[in-house]
Structure formats: structure tokens, C-alpha cells
């Protein structure tokens, strides 16, 4: 990780955010800034985020990656954050750190946030790439018993497939998620969208990628299904596909 470009955004009313922002080379000034949105309880040092950053640097493209409040190196208590709080973290960074159009690249929950950010900033978001995007997962990602436990006890712990710590879902996160569902009607987004989804994903049933594609108002939506793809989509072949899709979209947007 390039330590020299670690930056901090202090805020009066919200925890400090830690981010890495690299500007474009002069020859790529017309291209949008790539903004990587990690998944739930993830951070900006994951395989996909670092692969994208290295590729973007080699291409001379601007890139922003960061940790949501309560995650990674950013300040704050994870269990005090909700989906809308993290959406607002993204909006704050896009509004204050980045100039010009952005291409949002969202992994899992980050794909849901990308849709919410595009709805909030239609003039800034030039395109979206969703990787195993998980919009509305507070609705479909929990059993009725789990939802009741979240609401009555205030939090739910589940064993995590992706680390030693249990996955914690709080009432605040769940309620903010339910208040920001996007698949209940047309998603009023008109920019190009690329969705990459594994059909062997145990966390996000691939049918939700079809539903997202259907509900998006944009006519320029492409869905790439990877038959043996899992949720992480972090294999070398998956990363190569991601970089290819991002690269193609950047060329369209920068033309």
C-alpha cells in the first residue's frame, strides 16, 4: 500500500475517514476517478481494491479508496454505523476530495451503496461497476428468526466465512438498510452499469443481479454471470475480468 498518499478527513459530527487518493496523469484527465466501495465490514486493503489501484496507477487513472467509519483504519465504532451513514461517508469524500465525474466500483454491500450514491449525485456518477452487488440484502439476506433477533436484541452475531471474527449486524444497520431499499421499483439511474456476478455465490443469489439489471432505468446495463464464480470474485481470472470491464467502461466514458 502506498503509505505516502494516506490522507485523513476530519469531520465535526462524524468519525475521521482515512483514504488514499491519487490524481490522474495529464493524459487521462478526461477519464472519471475510480472510487472503490468495499463490502460489509471490509476495507480498502482487499485483493480487488489493491488490484484496481495498481492497475489504475499503471493506466494513469485517478483512484480513490477509503475505509468507511468504524472499518479498517478510519475512526469510529463499527456497531454505531448504519448503511445510510456509510453512504454519507462516500458522498462526503466524493464531494470534498474528488473533482469531476466518478466511476463507482462497489463490492457486495458496496454495490448497494454505489446505487444509493448514484441516486444522490446523478450529475457526478458517470458509471457503476457492481461486483457481487448486494442491494437490499437486509430484506433477503436474513431469515425471519434472524430479523427478529436483530430487532429485539439490537444485534446479531453470525460466524463469518471471511475471517475469524463473527459477522455482527446491528439494529441500526438493518433499519437503515430497510429504509434505503432500491429493488422495490424502478432504480432511477441513467449512467452505464456493469454487473459481475458469480452463480456459485453463497451470499448473493445470482437472481438478484438479474433483478437489479431489470429495475435499473438505464438502457446501458450489462450483466456478466460467472458460472463457477463465488462471492469474493478474487481469483486471478476474476480480477482480470474486472479490470477488463472497468477498462472498457473507462474508455467509453472518457471518449
Domains delineated in the chain: 3-135+190-254 (3.40.50.1820)
220-250 tens-digit pLDDT? 999 999 999 999 999 999 999 999 999 999 9
| Dist. CA 115–CA 215, nearest whole Å | 11
| Dist. CA 102–CA 96, nearest whole Å | 13
Would you say 171 and 147 are in contact if contact means Cβ atoms under 8 Å apart? no
Would you say 93 and 117 are in contact if contact means Cβ atoms under 8 Å apart? no
Q: What angle do CA 233, 174, 83 make, to 5 degrees?
A: 65
Quickly state the pLDDT bin for 4 (edges 50, 70, 90): low
Q: Which residue among the candidates 201, 203, 230, 238 is catalytic per the annotation?
A: 201
Whether 108 sits among the annotated catalytic residues: the reply is yes
Alpha carbon 104 to its chain's center: 7
Q: Which residue among the candidates 108, 160, 218, 220 is catalytic per the annotation?
A: 108
Give the three cell numbers for residue 178: 430497510
Q: Which residue among the candidates 88, 107, 231, 238 is catalytic per the annotation?
A: 231
Mean pLDDT score across all residues of the chain: 95
| Dist. CA 133–CA 115, nearest whole Å | 10
pTM of the full structure: 0.96
Radius of gyration of the chain (CA): 17
Whether 201 sits among the annotated catalytic residues: the reply is yes
| Dist. CA 180–CA 166, nearest whole Å | 25
3 state SS of 233: coil
Please report, to the nearest 10 degrees, the dihedral formed by the alpha carbons of residues 246, 192, 66, 166 taken in order: -90
141-196 tens-digit pLDDT? 999 999 999 999 999 999 887 778 899 999 999 999 999 999 999 999 999 999 99
| Dist. CA 234–CA 113, nearest whole Å | 20
Q: Which residues contact 210 (CB under 8 A, 6 or more apart)?
A: 223
Whether 237 sits among the annotated catalytic residues: the reply is no
DSSP one-letter code for 229? -
Amino acid at each position: 500500500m502506498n503509505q505516502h498518499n494516506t490522507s485523513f478527513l476530519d469531520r465535526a459530527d462524524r468519525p475521521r475517514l482515512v483514504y488514499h487518493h491519487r490524481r490522474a496523469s495529464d493524459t487521462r484527465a478526461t477519464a472519471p476517478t475510480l472510487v472503490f466501495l468495499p463490502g460489509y465490514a471490509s476495507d480498502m486493503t482487499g485483493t480487488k481494491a489493491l488490484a484496481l489501484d495498481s492497475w489504475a496507477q499503471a493506466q494513469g487513472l485517478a483512484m480513490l479508496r477509503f475505509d468507511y467509519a468504524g472499518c479498517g483504519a478510519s475512526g469510529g465504532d463499527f456497531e454505531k454505523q448504519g448503511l445510510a451513514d456509510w453512504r454519507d461517508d462516500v458522498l462526503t469524500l466524493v464531494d470534498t476530495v474528488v473533482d469531476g465525474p466518478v466511476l463507482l466500483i462497489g463490492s457486495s454491500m458496496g454495490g448497494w451503496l454505489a446505487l444509493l450514491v448514484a441516486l444522490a449525485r446523478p450529475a457526478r456518477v458517470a458509471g457503476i461497476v457492481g461486483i457481487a452487488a448486494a442491494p437490499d440484502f437486509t430484506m433477503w439476506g436474513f431469515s425471519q428468526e434472524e430479523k427478529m433477533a436483530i430487532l429485539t436484541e439490537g444485534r446479531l452475531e453470525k460466524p463469518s466465512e471471511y475471517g475469524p471474527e463473527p459477522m455482527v449486524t446491528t439494529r441500526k444497520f438493518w433499519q437503515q438498510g430497510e429504509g434505503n431499499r432500491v429493488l422495490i421499483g424502478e432504480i432511477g439511474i441513467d449512467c452505464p452499469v456493469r454487473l459481475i456476478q458469480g452463480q456459485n455465490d453463497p451470499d448473493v443469489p445470482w437472481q438478484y443481479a438479474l433483478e437489479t439489471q431489470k429495475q435499473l432505468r438505464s438502457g446501458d446495463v450489462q450483466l456478466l454471470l460467472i458460472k463457477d464464480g463465488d462471492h469474493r470474485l478474487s481469483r486471478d481470472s476474476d480480477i482480470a475480468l474486472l479490470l477488463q470491464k472497468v477498462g472498457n467502461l473507462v474508455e467509453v466514458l472518457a471518449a
